[in-house]
A and B are shown apart, each in its own frame.
Chain A
Amino acid sequence: MPKDLPRTLALTITALFLLYPLWGLASPVGRWQWGAADASPALATSFALTGVALLIVVAIGTPLAFSLRGATRAVRITFEAVVLLSVLMPPLALGLLLALAFGPGTALGSLLLRLGIPTSNDSTAFVVTQIYASLGYYLLGAAAAFEAVPRELEQSAALLGLKPREVLWRVTLPLARLGLAAAVSLAWVRALGEFGAIMVTAYYPHGIPVQLWVDLQDSGLPAVLPLLLVFLLSALPLPWALRILVRARGHA
């Protein structure tokens, strides 16, 4: 028996196990109803609001992750524990907690409402929920990307006369970019696919996951599968390719 046969078998079986659900797209559920419901509002909602959420996540998370490098070990461990708590939170629990914390019945929720910022069933609630769902993933990925940049290269750049800001732009960010891209892709998938928390906090406007649920309830699988296919084809290729590229280059 070849030495690597058990490993090859194990990898193959696991890969087939993971890919098997895609076979569901070929299930005999009847003729796909491409025009059963207009999916474009859900697509527009999901992509536009996820884009906004992701911009905010990157804008907040990148400098924060970078600043973690200079923090003491105690600060890092404490902060990472908090971030992990948000990452490990079950989505439905997150939604319920967000509703309880930001809902119109709370002091904060009513204050925001008076300021014209609705905290449920609104684009703002949708984006805020996505930020809560994805920020932790981005922070952990970005922090690992920055940590992987050798300090001696940054010191070399400084010794060659570069100011700290120039070191960041010419050495740190270029060397961390693949890891950062992987973190962005993870945050993107996490935010775009968020269902449990969004169901509670922002059932309206419908994003793709909620629309899929609604279509499943109202019209059945033949109406759901076209939107599901569009969802998969539009949401997955970019982060999937980024992740493969990152691994191929030996980062993350």
Chain B
Amino acid sequence: MLECRIHKARRAYDVNVEFVADAERLALFGPSGSGKSTILSCLAGLERPDAGHIHCDGQNWFSPPLALHLRSVGYLSQREALFPHLSVADNVQFSLDAAARAHERAWIDEMRERLNLTTLWRARPHHLSGGQARRVALARTLCRRPRLVLLDEPFTGLDRPLVRELVTILKEWQERLRFTLLAVDHDPLVLEGLCPRVIALEEGRVVQRGDWSELARAPATPTLRALLDLNP
């Protein structure tokens, strides 16, 4: 279970949020600059909150801040950040030592098949297209079965069929592996397809929580209404 209360001062306005998520898929939705990515960065440990607490599956992540490598977190953004000196295979299995690679053979093979990485397995990242690189990054993120998966607009720039395919795979794996997934995306259709629950943010505050039908039926603010209307 993820328990999160974050206060983070920013130039425009402070981020103040509190929520709980338990082995589920949860969307963070709101206009640009509403604090969505800041929340993900704080959870990953890339930014440090000014106050609050973060607990994940009984482990204290903040405060004091827990080092990045000790958090069981997978973080995927639109920048794949693949290791250019390693093959696709070594990128995907980067987090596993030799023993773990042998132990996770079936899981690695499944990811390779489902994400169509077989023919790319020995390639270097600079030979990959954007969509291929994003699939490799997803496999690398999930390879060590993190307890928390953070998606910060990882589908930006990908074509619709690939996004649909990745959303389907992610849903299936989340339900099987029971990790908590938090997703941010500019496209509510993608978020709605991936996450049943949503937290709507504006100017760093939570303005509404619930499922997508509630949000669509009675958006809490004019900004939310406009955002949803812009993306029918």
Contacts and interface: CB of A to CB of B under 8 A. Distances in A.
Interface size for chain A: under 10, 10 to 19, 20 to 34, or 35 or more residues? 10 to 19
Contacts of B81: 150, 152-153, 155-156
B75 interface: yes
A170 B68 CA distance: 16
B85 A162 contact: no
A163 interface: yes
A159 B144 contact: no
A162 B85 CA distance: 17
Tell me what chain B mostly uses at the interface: helix, strand, loop, or mixed: loop
A168 to B, nearest CB: 12
A56 B74 CA distance: 41
Nearest to A162: B69
Interface in B123-172: 140, 144
A164 B67 CA distance: 10
Given A160-B140, A160-B144, A155 B68 contact: yes
B44 interface: yes
A159 B74 CA distance: 7
Interface string B38-61: 000000111000000000000000
Contacts of A163: 69
Contacts of B184: none
A92 interface: no
A159 B83 contact: no
Contacts of B67: 158
Contact of A162 (B46, B74, B75, B95): B95
A174 interface: yes
Given A161-B69, A161-B144, A162-B69, A175 B95 contact: no
Contacts of A161: 69, 72, 95, 144
Contacts of B6: none
B84 interface: yes
B100 to A, nearest CB: 10
A171 B86 CA distance: 10
Contacts, number: 44
Interface string A170-213: 11001100000000000000000000000000000000000000
B85 A159 contact: no
Interface in B94-123: 94-95
Interface in B196-220: none
A171 B83 contact: yes
Contacts of B44: 159
B145 to A, nearest CB: 11
B85 A160 contact: no
B152 to A, nearest CB: 12
Contacts of A228: none
B69 A153 contact: no
B75 A174 contact: no
B73 interface: yes
A87 interface: no
A112 interface: no
A162 B71 CA distance: 10
A157 interface: yes
Interface string B74-92: 1100010101110000000
Interface in A234-252: none
Nearest to A166: B69
Contact of A160 (B45, B79, B84, B95): B95
Contacts of B140: 160
A159 B68 contact: yes
A175 B84 contact: yes
A159 B144 CA distance: 11
B180 to A, nearest CB: 15
B126 to A, nearest CB: 10
Interface of B: 44-46, 67-69, 71-75, 79, 81, 83-85, 94-95, 140, 144
Given A160-B69, A175-B85, 20 more contacts: A152-B81, A153-B83, A155-B46, A155-B81, A156-B75, A156-B81, A156-B83, A157-B83, A157-B94, A159-B68, A159-B71, A159-B73, A160-B140, A161-B72, A162-B95, A164-B69, A167-B69, A171-B83, A174-B85, A175-B83
- Shortest 4 CB-CB distances between A and B: which pairs? A158-B68, A160-B95, A156-B81, A152-B81
8 contacts: A153-B81, A153-B83, A155-B46, A157-B83, A159-B71, A167-B69, A175-B84, A175-B85
